[in-house]
Chain A
Amino acid sequence: MIRELKVGRRVFLKAGAGLAALAAFPLGLAPGAFAEEPVKGGTLKLGFSADPAGFDPARGPSGMSHVVIEQVYSTLMSVDPDAQPYPDLAEKFEQSADGLEYTFHLRKGVKFHDGSDLTAEDVKFTFDRLRAKDSGYSYGSQVETISEVVVVDPSTVTFKLSKPTGPFLVYMAFPGSSIVPKKLVESGHDLNSKPVGSGPFKFVSYEPRSMVKFTRNENFYETGKPYFDALEFHLIADITALTNAVISGTINFSNEIPPKDWQTVTATPGLVGTTLEGSRYYWLLMNNTVKPLDNPKVRQAIAHAIDRSAIVTGVFFGQAVPLKGGVIPEWNWGYAGIDYFAAGADPEKAKALLKEAGLADGFTTSLTMASSFPAMVAMAPIIQANLAAVGIKAEIKTMEIPRYWDEVWGPSKFDLTAMYWVSPLADPDDFVTNNYACGMAINVQKSCSKAMDEALAKAKSAPTQEARKAAYAEQQKLALEEMPIVPLVNSLILTAYTDKLKNYKPMRTGFLKTLKDAWLEA
């Protein structure tokens, strides 16, 4: 039984106030971070809990690999803290009117860490390599619309696409699209263990489950940057230990602070904490092929029964935002502004929907969670209680992640389950296609709707951003009608760092590209 939130609001308001403050100041102009002279020097020590799985952009699927790749390599485009793409390696670019051709003009004088020049040949080589049949590239869907890469001259390259691809520029900013040195790779160099790129930091060493070390690239194409002499990625698998390391000053940066320790961390003298709404969203999956979950009314009932604010308080200690409409978050240009859910539960509406579906007395079902995610474990009893309040009896089953993948997720053997996803691209398409399109890897709820697929395709290939935005609004409305999955909350990115770190702007994508612009005070 869940009683009304009273105390919860206090915590909630605090988080809300924080967000409001950030919204008031356009990102990048947070007070105290401007009109200061950059200081060269120092080593920034960051803490991460996961180990990277290789450093070749074409290989490593793991998020942590990308964090490393991002510092060592460069991409044609990059995304800014608000997830808007801008030309990076490319000085400028042109897009053809029909959206089938993109021409990038590369900066001049860019060098790889081994001293060789970066030219259009390397760009062509990079993408041919990704598109190769046996490349094993996990994100092949990003490059599948590229039909040809043409070297116009040493600093100009044209991409010919087979059909208009809305997120194309964002794809060019993806770590997997990092430009690799053609000559080095062809000579047999193994990028997976010794990455060589043109990014702000050079790779020095990797000690498994312990440390990744970087040193400044003195020849970085953004003159004067980066400011740090070196970077250290401390790999601390245990989150509690990671948090302790931040508090004790052993490391001075982490964006993985667990919500339950946020108060303690931000109250520590010498530390600064920022919260940012990013793209880490949680959703409840219902097996669309199992009765009675195959009835959209039942699914909608479940969606209305859930008390998102209780999840925000109980699971994320206030450090999350309830998803009241579609899964595309508020800060994104694709946000549809649909207020479909209240922050709390609406058991009356849920019961009414169940009645319409002919299940006024409720039904019995099961909720299977992966026990290795503390958030899931904490969420399960709340969801169970929410459902019980409308007459749905859900039995909770939990198992550790590897078994969960194999026995529950892979074969879609579940009634209800929950998952989270961090969208690395922050293009609206990335938020929705994976979940809603028929047959996608993450669509294990097995929802298959022609209308949905059409809406998604239309939104992806619409010619202008305005057209895409309108199309996504339609798609999200459709998503709420069909309700194949239930959007839950978007958990905030909690970053804590030493107060000596200046000009650091956290990114909505959760990546750390902006480190090259930051410096450590003496």
Chain B
Amino acid sequence: MRNLILSRLLAFALTLLVASSILFVAINVVPGSAARSALGIDATPQALARFEALHGLDRPLVVQYADWLGRTFTGDFGKSFQNGVDVGPELLRRIPVTLELAILAFLIANVIAIPLGAFAAMRHQRIPDKSISFIATLLGAMPNFWLATLLVMVLTLRFRLLPPGGYTPFFDNPILNLKQMIMPALSLGIVSSALLIRIMRTAMIEVLSSDYIRTARAKGAQERVVMLRHAVRNALAPYVNVAAVEFGFLFGSVVIIEDIFLLPGIGSFVLVGIINRDYPVLLASALTITLVVLIINFIVDIAVGLIDPRRVTRHR
């Protein structure tokens, strides 16, 4: 077991290193000068050169990389090209926003998927199953940014129930915060639920046809109890595996949703970095998102390895 954790930890570290290198190279070869984006249309060549010297952009790439790596490990994420302010603190301020969005969306996805998937499995091949599967197919084809637009059109413009965007911290005004979060979370959660419904359904079907369940049924326990207690619990094991990976995927999709709903999270920070060619911002936020996804995958690997050594390799 220790070997498992150690080997996975090593893999995690290696992946992180390579991933950060890829990001660093990709971002630094981005065409479009950071200097001019920061200084504006009337920037003189001298001002541009001065900016580049100030931020060390005129040094060889390898030197810049080593410098950046070193500083990042000590928690110094550099200063934004746009306003010269430290990126680190702003990044920290944005993390709770993205976390809240991701967690809420994930919750919604599961609240939809687990009951529906289980129900579909219990009524396998009959009408409820077919309708649920059909709905899942439809939901899975929905682009989350279109769903977001539709939600805004109905809930904000037509019925004036919810604000079109913005963010108030939860502890400042819980009601407003939830009002602002519900549509973004729904946009992400509903689309994610499509896949999860299928996974739950498949897992349940497999469990329901297993010997264990047949034995339990033969013992005469009430069918309902059998289903709910044993089947669902057993189906959850493979479900959680995929669901956790789906959470990682969901986390990566926050970029678009945060943009649409003007949530000041890490996702929109990535866009800020790209639009302004603000390299420190872009690097820090892209790396943070990747890091979170890697951590989730890492935890899932370990957990799955502990629970069921047979299923050590992730799929999908």
A-side interface residues toward B, CB under 8 Å?
51-54, 61-63, 136, 138, 192-193, 208-210, 236-238, 241, 244-245, 248, 250, 372, 400-407, 409-410, 419, 421, 434, 441-442
Contacts and interface: CB of A to CB of B under 8 A. Distances in A.
A241 B166 contact: yes
B275 interface: yes
B36 A53 contact: no
Interface string B82-95: 11110000100000
Contacts of A401: 32, 37, 275
B43 A403 contact: no
A54 B43 contact: no
Nearest to B165: A241
Task: Classify the secondary structure of B's interface with A.
Answer: loop
B38 interface: yes
B165 A244 contact: yes
Contact of B83 (A51, A403, A405, A409): A51
A54 B83 CA distance: 6
Nearest to A62: B40
Contacts of B40: 61-63
Given A138-B47, A238-B262, A241-B165, A53 B37 contact: no
Contacts of B30: 402
B164 interface: yes
Interface string B70-92: 00000000001011110000100
Nearest to A238: B262
Interface string B153-174: 0000000000111100000000
26 contacts: A52-B83, A53-B38, A54-B83, A61-B42, A61-B47, A62-B39, A136-B50, A138-B42, A138-B47, A208-B83, A210-B264, A238-B262, A241-B165, A241-B262, A245-B166, A400-B32, A401-B32, A401-B37, A401-B275, A402-B33, A402-B277, A405-B37, A407-B31, A407-B32, A409-B36, A409-B41
A111 B82 CA distance: 32
A410 B36 contact: yes
Interface residues on B, range: 20 to 34
A441 B43 contact: yes
A54 B80 CA distance: 12
Contact of B90 (A138, A208, A410): A208
Contacts, number: 91
B47 A136 contact: yes
B41 A442 contact: yes
A210 B44 CA distance: 29
Contact of A403 (B31, B50, B262, B272): B31
B82 A53 contact: yes
B242 interface: no
B276 interface: yes
Nearest to A208: B85
A421 B163 CA distance: 34
Contact of B33 (A53, A237, A248, A405): A405
Contact of B84 (A54, A241, A248): A54
